[in-house]
C-alpha cells in the first residue's frame, strides 16, 4: 500500500508535514468532539486518496484493478467468440 505522501506526490497534492494520530479519531463519540485541526488533516488525506482514485479511473477507465483490465484487454484482443469457444462462458 502506498503512503499518503507518495500518493500525494503522484497526484500533485503535498502531504501535510505535521504528524497526526489517526487512532485519536476513534476516541471521540461524535464528529463534534473532534478538534478542527484533526478534521482538516483527515480531510486533506482523504482528498489525496480521492485524487488518486480519479487518476486510476483516468488510466484504467474500464476496470478498477490491473488484473481486471488485463483480462478485459486479453478478451478483446483474443476475440470474444473464440474466447468463449476455447475457455467457456458467454459471448
pLDDT digits (tens, 9 = 90+) for 30-63: 888 888 888 888 888 888 888 888 887 777 666 7
Instruction: Map grid coordinates 487518476 to a residue.
Output: 55
Q: Given pLDDT bands bounded at 50, 70 and 90, which one contains residue 80?
A: low
Q: Do 69 and 54 fall within a single domain?
A: no
pLDDT of residue 90: 65
> Cell 480521492 identifies what position?
50
> What's the total number of domains in the chain?
2
- Say whether both 15 and 45 belong to one domain: yes
**C-alpha span between 38 and 36 (Å, rounded):** 5
Domain span at 74: 65-91
Residues 6+ apart with CB under 8 A from 33: none
How large is the C-alpha radius of gyration of the chain? 21
82 and 48 assigned to the same domain: no
Tell me the C-alpha distance between 39 and 55, whole Å: 24
Query: Do 50 and 70 fall within a single domain?
Result: no
Between CA 64 and CA 80 the distance in angstroms is: 21
pTM (whole model) above 0.95: no
Counting Cβ atoms within 10 Å, is residue 38 exposed (0-12), middle (13-18) or buried (19+)? middle
69 with 55, same domain: the answer is no
pLDDT over threshold 50, residue 13:
yes
Amino acid at each position: 500500500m502506498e503512503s499518503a505522501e507518495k500518493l500525494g506526490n503522484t497526484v500533485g497534492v503535498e502531504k501535510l508535514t505535521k504528524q497526526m494520530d489517526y487512532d485519536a479519531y476513534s476516541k471521540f463519540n461524535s464528529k463534534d468532539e473532534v478538534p478542527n485541526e484533526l478534521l482538516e488533516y483527515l480531510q486533506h488525506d482523504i482528498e489525496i486518496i480521492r485524487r488518486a482514485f480519479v487518476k486510476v479511473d483516468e488510466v484504467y477507465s474500464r476496470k478498477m484493478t490491473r488484473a481486471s483490465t488485463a483480462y478485459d484487454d486479453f478478451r478483446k484482443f483474443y476475440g470474444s467468440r473464440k474466447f468463449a469457444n476455447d475457455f467457456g462462458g458467454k459471448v
